[in-house]
Structure 1
Amino acid sequence: MIRLGTGAVREIALLAAHCDDLAIGLGGTLLAMANAVPGLRVRALVLSGAGTDRAMEEQDALSAFCPGADLDLRILDIPDGYAPAHWERVKDAVAALRRGSSPEVVFAPHRGDAHQDHRLLAELTPTEFRDHLVLGYEILKWENDTPQPTVFHPLPAGIAERKAELLVKHYPSQRTRDWFDEQSFLALSRLRGVQCRAPHAEAFLLDKATITFGGA
């Protein structure tokens, strides 16, 4: 397994269609990055949930997943499942996030996600973040659209367990879903860990990147 280190990442941008997508897709990575970089700048956009209890869940959850971070979260009120019908508004929101941030890494849904709202964000993100490293995260859910990831972020068992615990704690509105439990989240992270020889991991898809060997 070839490892590439990024060095210290000081700012990241997060894009999600729904409240809880970010925590499911990269909660362990957020915990690890926030612990490693005090004052990590996190600029986040969520398309739906504004004005509901889901928005309150999301704010509390991301604060817990990004302890000590400089967190700026914007949540819109686009109806779940109808983001493509609000293309212009979504495009404008992604563009505004780009103008208001200077991230070294951008996290967004991946293009093969079965949910149309996720796919729209996956398509629009690189049109605005054109010169950025964009990593597509996977969202555990009922559909059998689990991808074949190409980038793995190894996680200690304690971080994976903390992620699963925080998900169940901070999203009570989702506990009635038959897949929304600690065992499910730990099963996926353990699988990704097996695939990169680590206790646990989160995995991402990468469309394009450049690499410089031998110096700046």
Structure 2
Amino acid sequence: MIDLLPGSLRRVAAVAAHCDDLAIGAGGTLLAMCTAHPGIRVDALILSGGGTEREREERAALAAFCPGADLRVTVGKLPDGRLPAHWEEAKRAVEELRLRTVPDLILAPQPGDAHQDHRGLAELVPTAFRDHLTLGYEIVKWDGDLGRPNAYQPLDLALAERKVALLWEHYPSQRRRHWFDREAFLGLARVRGIECHARYAEAFYVRKLTLDLAGG
């Protein structure tokens, strides 16, 4: 059964290929969920950046994006941009995450992402989590791979601004990148907000969803 009952949201698995992917793609959603569900368990798996400055940034950032959560973070050491060449190691990490949690919701890269690491992880997630609702987040980038998402998490102005402020505060190593700025993050959030009749929003891709319209 693939469904989402917000009233019973107790466990979330959040997976990413790189440090900052989760915060960029779903930071507002994490803030909204963790604020609304104090004590929610969040198991975060990041495949690369372990043992570096990026890991330190990521742990501090996720703690800020998941206030009040039972947060458990694992940061692996796969080389950036080389996931296809380390397929077995990446698959093992996802399968080990599956042994640690039975999530009500999974946040993961979306399958149409142009970055090979993101796309590869998106392909791996359903091999381990076969009956779980997965929201595929998007990351704005040079490749121009933004598509037509089919699920949205509205964000009010305060939440959207909070997300951007936390990104800037916790990822100083990324500030030099031309796409890492307030305009890029709020601009995409504004477009996605228009698409769901909200001021701002984060958008997701849902591959499969089971309905319970009879209320059973």
TM-score > 0.5 by shorter chain: yes
Aligned to 2:32: 32
Q: How far did residue 87 of structure 1 move?
A: 0.5
Alpha-carbon distance in structure 2 between the residues aligned to 1:38 and 1:8: 12
Alignment check: 8 A CA contact 1:8 1:37 kept = no
Aligned to 2:164: 164
Q: Deviations over 1:48-77 (max 9, x none)?
A: 000100000000000000011100010001
| Gapped regions of structure 2 (runs ≥ 5) | none
Aligned to 2:214: 214
Structure 1 runs of 4+ with >2 Å offset: 4-8
Aligned to 1:76: 76
Aligned to 1:111: 111
Alpha-carbon distance in structure 2 between the residues aligned to 1:8 and 1:57: 31
Alpha-carbon distance in structure 2 between the residues aligned to 1:7 and 1:188: 29
Q: What are the residue-to-residue correspondences of 1:88-167 with 2, within 5 Å?
A: 88-167=88-167
Q: Deviations over 1:94-150 (max 9, x none)?
A: 001011011100111011101100011100101110010011000122210012100
| Gapped regions of structure 1 (runs ≥ 5) | none
Letter in 1 for 2:139: I
> Secondary structure at 1:148's aligned position in 2?
coil
Scaled by the length of structure 2, what TM-score is found? 0.96
Q: How far did residue 8 of structure 1 move?
A: 3.6
Q: How far did residue 5 of structure 1 move?
A: 6.4
Q: How far did residue 9 of structure 1 move?
A: 1.1
Alpha-carbon distance in structure 2 between the residues aligned to 1:164 and 1:156: 13
Alpha-carbon distance in structure 2 between the residues aligned to 1:186 and 1:199: 10
> Secondary structure at 2:7's aligned position in 1?
coil
Alpha-carbon distance in structure 2 between the residues aligned to 1:43 and 1:116: 23
Alpha-carbon distance in structure 2 between the residues aligned to 1:136 and 1:183: 22
Alpha-carbon distance in structure 2 between the residues aligned to 1:124 and 1:85: 14
> Secondary structure at 1:74's aligned position in 2?
strand
Letter in 2 for 1:134: T
Alpha-carbon distance in structure 1 between the residues aligned to 2:196 and 2:7: 20
Aligned alpha-carbon RMSD (Å)? 1.0
Scaled by the length of structure 1, what TM-score is found? 0.96
